[in-house]
Structure 1
Amino acid sequence: MSSVTPPREYFLDSIRAWLMLLGIPFHISLIYSTHTWHVNSAEPSWWLTLFNDFIHAFRMQVFFVISGYFSYMLFLRYPLKRWWKVRVERVGIPMLTAIPLLTLPQFIMLQYVKGKADSWHTLSGYDKYNALAWELISHLWFLLVLVVLTTVSMWVFTQMKNRLTQSDAASSPAVSMTKLTLIFILLGVGYAAVRRTIFILYPSILSDGMFNFIVMQTLFYVPFFMLGALAFINPNLKALFTTPSRGCTIGAGLAFAAYLLNQRYGSGDAWMYETEYVITMVMGLWMVNVVFSLGHRLLNFQSARVTYFVNASLFIYLVHHPLTLFFGAYITPHISSNLLGFLCGLLFVVGIAVILYEIHLRIPVLKFLFSGKPPVKQDKNKAVAG
């Protein structure tokens, strides 16, 4: 284990927490958007649709950059097997805990909300499996992707570390955003080509939940995960993202406009999805600069309140989804105003999630299951002395 601990990156911790917590207004706004979801309001709202699309277009790309950054930082701190165990426990245990405690009850509730409970027995064995794969993984998909990326990174990070010993990272040549943009355009086109090829040769596999999560989602987000690891290694690359760029801000705005036009005029039977992946691949890169530079300027400080939500963000994210669906199914129909419903939804979901978080902190087994962190063992001699 490395004895050298890098300085705390407060702004990255804060950004990661905010991105996680943005899942709450994202899913609540989904209720009131024009997008078809599990539950929808009677009349959609154009501005909540716009708000929802904006969050969806960049949030997870930036999140995976931060995940890659911290993953490589911990990779240098632990032996290989220990690193894999720690990382998989931190994301795998909460995911496996949430399935029986959160997403399974959520799935059962939705069966009755949608009136499909009576027809469940008519589905084929594969259809039941696939429905469960989609519904039980649900909003936990990114945890499954992180398990896959962590496992793959055992070899990739080892190669990166071996190469790093042969050259000084501090003397690495400067990386330009133009070059990175071209690389990510090519990555987006490559991913779109892979999806189109699968669509032509074996289209039904794209509807398979586990294939979508393990293969397609991993393939899309692996460039961002690796970008985060490289940003930890290369200070010039990190500085590129933490230094404000007018070009990235304007580019992200134009990319979002292209995203909206594709949503409005694109056709799912044509190239709409492939176009979307190219756009969001590049927009995600530019938004890393926008979010990192803003966060570095505004959030790079230690605060007890921020630390609280950093620690609580994963738990709140895990429990918010069934709470949101409950709100959408049973409370939204009684609120005529979309704005009022959205605000009430935020208060309802966040309020109950924080209460549940405080309760789970007082139950050691739940604290372990929802964090993946084993309880800290106290020194018996110190305990006696105290």
Structure 2
Amino acid sequence: MDQPGRLHAFDNLRAVMMWLGILLHVAINHTTGPSPLPWRDAQTSPIADLILIFIHAFRMPVFFILAGFFVALLVARRGPRAMLKHRMRRLALPFAIFWPVLIVCTTVLMLVYVHIMARGTVGIDISLLAKKSVGASPFNTMHMWFLYYLIWFCALTAVLAPAWAALPARVHHAVDAAFRVLATRWWGVLVLTVPLAIIGSFYRAGMLASSGSFIPQLPEIVHNGLFFVVGLLSHRHQDVLFPLLVKTCWQKTLAGLAVFAAVVWAFVAFTSDPLGIPHIEALIACLYNLTSWLWSFALIGLFLRYLPSQNRVLRYISESSYWVFLVHMLGTIGFGAMVYSLPLGAMSKMLLNVVATTAVCLLTYQLLVRHTIIGVLLNGSRKPKGAQVVAPLSAGNA
């Protein structure tokens, strides 16, 4: 039954973005280029590289925009202190509970995977990591870095909200006017791209990579924080922004596709000859982040236009998304190790891994989470039909 005031389009968008996370992390097993991870299947494919940079272009930007939107919604409905209490209960508490368990399980699976790669048998030998030249500390936020930064962003929002409210009305009007101009003019995405392109130009291939550090990194704060702030402001201006995104969703989709084609060309040129084209990393950073903005806005518009009402399948996947976000890496690594020795190509192994990980994640959600205290921890208590609710961690899962 539909719940009045609920943005089902965003629930549906969150569900699709969550599932794409499984596909992305399976693709990492089969990429051809350099990988910061110690495990990789012997069967690689350029298609896996394409899938990785394609999904990475918009998935996390979309999540941060939607997360910012719903944080602003909570502030408007409950105030900054109540928002922070709500977010800490849904973000910080699960992070504190699940991170120790997941870091141990992920590390064990990683060691088993590396052992299979090196010796063809199941086992654990920490010395094999030294041979892989793994320099990063295992003590990191893993794929939960999104939650970690979102915790910081929510805390900063709660702290700065009173100061923002105390500013003169003319300052509010100036910020609102500037955002409306950026959101409604075709060149607005170009302006938004500039700071992200500057940051990306300092990274390999012009693409920001999460460090996983528990010490917040300024480039990651600025990059992800800009999408989050756009989400915050989008809540204030949804009356203008949402109809415009619906109207221009296909233009932005096609424009993003054209820019992404240029990204692929530049990326291939970079991998073939990193020094062949001057400042190519800066070029990739510009094009890639422009793609991020175009496709993020396009996806919001497309889902508002074509999937504005409740969809049972996507609703179920959306409700399970927090759990799937937490545990899916165990599936992508574990099943990746299981199919490593199979006489199959990269695409066949990817398909098996995606299907198996999806099935196990949804099955464990149904049996162990949905009607248990874990489900209450992650999504809050289940409301009776017809009750109006704010989507738990709406668009705040990766």
Same fold (TM over 0.5): yes
Residue deviations 1:41-79, cap 9 Å, x none? Answer: 323222232222211122111111111111100111123
Query: In structure 2, what is the equivalent of residue 384 of structure 1?
Result: none
Partner of residue 127, structure 2:
119
Q: 1:309 to 1:362 in 2, by over 3 A?
A: closer
Q: What is the aligned partner in structure 1 of residue 66 from structure 2?
A: 66
Alignment match, 2:108? 108
Give the Cα separation in 2 of the matches to 1:38 and 1:281: 27
Instruction: Determine the C-alpha separation between the residues in 1 that align with 2:160 and 2:199.
Output: 20
In 2: Cα distance, 1:243 partner to 1:156 partner:
34
5+ long unaligned stretches in structure 1: 200-205, 377-386
| Greater helix proportion | 1
Q: Which residue of 2 aligns with 1:12?
A: 10
**Measured at CA, do residues 251 and 228 of structure 1 come closer, stay the same or move farther in structure 2, by a change above 3 Å?**
same
**Runs of 5+ unmatched residues, structure 2:** 116-123, 384-398
Report if the CA contact (8 A) 1:361-1:367 is conserved: yes
Cα 1:148–1:357, aligned 2, differ >3 Å: closer, same or farther?
Answer: same
| Aligned match of 1:202 | none
TM-score by length of 1: 0.80
AA aligned opposite 1:241: L
Structure 1 counterpart of 2:46:
46
For 1:25, give the aligned amino acid. L
Measure the CA separation in 2 of the matches of 1:303 and 1:112: 39
The farther-off stretch of 217-226 and 37-46 is 37-46
Report the alpha carbon displacement of residue 368 of structure 1 after superposing the two structures with TM. 4.2
Structure 1 vs Structure 2 CA RMSD = 3.5
Q: Name 1:307's counterpart in structure 2.
A: 315
SS at the partner of 1:53?
A: helix
Structure 1 counterpart of 2:150: 146
Which residue of 1 is the match for residue 350 of structure 2?
342
CA distance in 1, matches of 2:223, 2:285: 8
The 1:78/1:41 distance shift into structure 2, 3 A limit, reads same
- 3-state DSSP of counterpart to 1:19: helix
Q: Which residue of 2 aligns with 1:380?
A: none
Which deviates the most, 62-71 or 238-247? 238-247
Whichever residue aligns with residue 102 of structure 1, its letter is L
Cα 1:285/1:83, change in 2 over 3 Å: same
- What SS does the aligned partner of 2:341 have? helix
Closer/same/farther in 2, CA of residues 246 and 367 from structure 1, 3 Å limit: closer
Match of 1:176 among 160, 170, 184: 184
Query: Are positions 1:264 and 2:249 aligned together?
Result: no
Distance 1:46 1:296, change over 3 A: same
SS at match of 1:210: coil
Q: How does 1:1-386 map to 2 (within 5 A)?
A: 7-35=5-33, 36=35, 37-115=37-115, 117-119=125-127, 131-134=137-140, 137-161=141-165, 175-192=183-200, 195=202, 209-210=212-213, 214-234=217-237, 235-266=239-270, 274-361=282-369, 364-369=372-377, 371=378, 373=380
Shift of 1:177: 3.4
Cα distance in 2 between the residues matched to 1:18 and 1:157: 31
Query: Does the 8 Å contact 1:145/1:214 carry over to 2?
Result: no
- Output the amino acid matched with 1:336: L
* Contact 1:244 1:294 (C-alpha < 8 Å) held by counterparts: no
| TM-score, normalised by the number of residues in structure 2 | 0.77
* Residue 146 of structure 1, CA deviation: 0.3
Deviations 1:202-261 (A, max 9, x none): xxxx99642675433222111111111111101222333232245422331232123223
- CA distance in 1 between counterparts of 2:96 and 2:372 reads 17
Contact in 1 for aligned 2:249/2:299 (Cα 8 Å): no
The C-alpha deviation readout for 1:154-183, integer Å capped at 9, x for no partner, is: 2444455556977789x9666433342232
CA contact (8 A) 1:192 1:275 kept: no
Does structure 2 conserve the Cα–Cα contact (< 8 Å) formed by 1:92 and 1:372? no
- Shifted more, 338-347 versus 14-23: the winner is 338-347
* Cα gap change, 1:232 to 1:109, in 2 (>3 Å): same
Q: 1:352 to 1:16 in 2, by over 3 A?
A: same
Change (3 A) 1:177 1:329: farther
